[in-house]
Structure 1
Amino acid sequence: MYLPVSVWFNFYHLPLKQAFRLPILLRAPRLSCCAGSVCIEAERIRPGMIRLGGRGTGVFSRPQFLWENRGRVVFRGTCRIGSNSLVSVGERGVLTIGNNFTAGTSLELICYHRISFGENTLVGWDNVFCDTDFHRTRSESPSSGYAPIEIGDENWFGMKCIVLKGTRTPNRCIVGAGAVLAKDYSSLPEKCLLAGNPAMLKKTDIYLDRNDDRIHYSTYES
């Protein structure tokens, strides 16, 4: 049902050699603005390697995916973003998504300056990444109102995290559910856990193994 839109999107944004392979598939898209550029920087271009939108779930039933791009979006490999999500990139915004990016439903990526994700990022449902305040405050030390967000490799974000301007994370970092990040954590050691509002270091020598991350339930006796 959404294949014609996907075909148009690929041929509108990508070089013909890439577009013929239909690497980007959209589901239930609402294309608010396509004035910006989209590129794929990967060694292999495969059909459906980038999937934006999904069928919805029992928790978030709306399948719609909102796309509003006036800047530049770079995909560096495979990408999966679930239903009820949005990508909004301003005229000066550059959004870079590393290889093997996976996000659940209701993701909000709001990029008016610069947001970059490393490889193997896993994002739970209902997360927000926003590199701008949309307003400039004034005081003795006035704020510019924006700053880049830089996410390291192999980061895992639990559900309902809020990641604001100026955030930087180390590699192999876990961010607990409901955490609010708004500063540079990149000096922390790899394999660390951040949690809370504001997010703070809670534990070290902990990481997610995406090849073995299933919960093993105990056998309950009546």
Structure 2
Amino acid sequence: MDQIKRRDAGIAYIADKEVMEQQKRARKLTQELNTVDRSDFEKIEKIVKELLGKSEGAFINPPFYCDYGFNIEVGKNFYANYNCTILDVGKVTIGDNCMFAPNVAIYTAGHPIHPDSRNSMYEYGIPVSIGDNCWLGGNTIVCPGVKIGNNVVIGAGSVVTKDISDWSIAAGNPCRVIRTITEEDRKYYYKKNEFDEDAWKDLTARGFGGLE
């Protein structure tokens, strides 16, 4: 079994010449993305669409970094703010309507703990999945193998080492669930600041006001 097949099978592999050859496409595209005119939104969207394995309406504010691109699958309306890094050695699956604040990092890649094993050049990639309608706060780090459910908010500066269940607010290092998101949260835009009457009428008219 060659190293690419080992990597894709999720077992220990060595990033040999053939593996690194696969990274050239992503490096060229991310270089293009990171040097494009930042006001040329159409060009940015075009590069992002070419880079990612699957996307629909995705927008990434450069700079952005990844290993392959084809191992990143995002749903509809994905948005990543500045300086996002996704090490997509393993598959990264992101659902619809997800937002990343600046400096979010997703790591599927890792190295053995023991120095002899690590110095052997073997490494690994374990998939990460993020559900629909998730918001990851600034400087969040998601570690290999993590599964984040639907409708989750991760607080800024979190290090997510374990799975997070649906409808959760979670934060910390290591990241832990703080509480469940409820219907009561719908009327607030920041902590205890409620939407004003005009904003509430607008979002309700557009179908975001619940059953009222």
Report TM bin, short chain.
Answer: 0.5 to 0.7
Q: C-alpha separation between the residues in 2 aligned to 1:128 and 1:180?
A: 10
Q: Report the CA distance between 1:147 and its aligned residue.
A: 1.4
Q: What is the 5 A alignment of 1:47-196?
A: 55=38, 73-89=52-68, 94-133=71-110, 135-138=111-114, 145-185=124-164, 188=165, 190-196=166-172
- Counterpart of 2:24 in structure 1 is 33
In the superposition, relative to structure 1, how do residues 171 and 105 fare at CA in structure 2: closer, same or farther (>3 Å)?
A: same
TM-score (norm 1): 0.57
Contact 1:160–1:177 under 8 Å retained in 2: yes
SS in 2 for 1:33: helix
SS in 1 for 2:76: coil
Contact 1:88–1:111 under 8 Å retained in 2: yes
Which of residues 200, 212, 217 in structure 1 aligns to 2:176? 200
Q: C-alpha separation between the residues in 2 aligned to 1:74 and 1:111?
A: 11
More helix by share: 2
In the superposition, relative to structure 1, how do residues 84 and 96 fare at CA in structure 2: closer, same or farther (>3 Å)?
A: same
Q: C-alpha separation between the residues in 2 aligned to 1:206 and 1:136?
A: 40
Contact 1:178–1:196 under 8 Å retained in 2: yes
In the superposition, relative to structure 1, how do residues 33 and 144 fare at CA in structure 2: closer, same or farther (>3 Å)?
A: closer
Q: Report the CA distance between 1:76 and its aligned residue.
A: 3.1
Q: Return the structure number with greater relative CO, CA threshold 8 A, min gap 6.
A: 2
SS in 2 for 1:125: coil
Deviation string for 1:77-105 (max 9, x for gaps)? Answer: 11010022212228xx7211111101111
SS in 2 for 1:178: coil
Contact 1:104–1:123 under 8 Å retained in 2: yes
Q: C-alpha separation between the residues in 2 aligned to 1:170 and 1:110?
A: 20
Which stretches in structure 2 are left out of the alignment for 5+ residues? 1-22, 116-121, 196-212
Identical-pair percentage:
22
In the superposition, relative to structure 1, how do residues 82 and 206 fare at CA in structure 2: closer, same or farther (>3 Å)?
A: farther
Q: Give the greater-gyration-radius structure (CA).
A: 2
Q: Report the CA distance between 1:217 and its aligned residue.
A: 9.2
SS in 1 for 2:109: coil
CA root-mean-square deviation = 3.6
Q: Report the CA distance between 1:184 and its aligned residue.
A: 2.2
Deviation string for 1:165-218 (max 9, x for gaps)? Answer: 011011000000000012222xx2x22101000000101125887xx9589699
| Runs of 4+ with >6 A deviation | none
